[in-house]
């Protein structure tokens, strides 16, 4: 299991900005795309200031729904999707 350090830089009632240390574009893109599946999400994006620093900063804005909950729910859905993929892939490989 991959462990990432999350540093919350800013948190308001409808916005959260956080860094995902040791995260790749793969994880950030997957999370960003999953966040867009939530009807409460108004903004979901991330940026990496410089490739040598490689610390993605995610920005999530909602319509008033708690942004921390929205991100946690998206991460749970993404985890389920990955587990399903792994299970299906394992069946095909055997």
Task: Give the CATH number of domain 5-93.
Answer: 3.30.1360.10
Taking 3-state DSSP, the helix, strand and coil percentages for the chain, each rounded to the nearest 5, stand at 40, 30, 30
4: which DSSP letter? -
Determine the distance from the C-alpha atom of residue 27 to the mean position of all C-alpha atoms in its chain, rounded to a whole number.
7
Q: Is 14 left (phi over 0), alpha (psi -120 to 50) or beta?
A: alpha
Taking the domains of the chain in order of start, what are their residue ranges? Answer: 5-93
pLDDT tens, 59-87?
A: 999 999 999 999 999 999 999 999 998 88
Over the Cα atoms of the chain, what is R_g? 14
Does the reported pTM lie above 0.85?
A: yes
Asked if residue 15 has pLDDT above 60, the reply is yes
With vertex at residue 82, the alpha carbon angle to CA 78 and CA 86, rounded to the nearest 5 degrees, is 170
pLDDT in tens, 18-70: 999 888 889 999 999 999 999 999 999 999 988 777 899 999 999 999 999 99
Reply yes or no on whether the pLDDT at 1 is more than 60.
no
């Amino acid at each position: 299991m991959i462990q990432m350090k999350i540093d919350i830089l800013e948190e308001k009632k409808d916005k959260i900005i956080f860094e995902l240390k040791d995260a790749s574009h793969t994880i950030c893109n997957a999370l960003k795309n999953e966040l867009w599946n939530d009807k409460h999400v108004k903004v979901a994006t991330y940026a990496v200031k410089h490739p040598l620093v490689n610390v993605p900063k995610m920005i999530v804005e909602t319509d008033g729904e708690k942004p921390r909950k929205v991100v946690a729910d998206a991460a749970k859905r993404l985890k389920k999707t990955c587990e399903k993929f792994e299970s299906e892939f394992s069946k095909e490989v055997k």
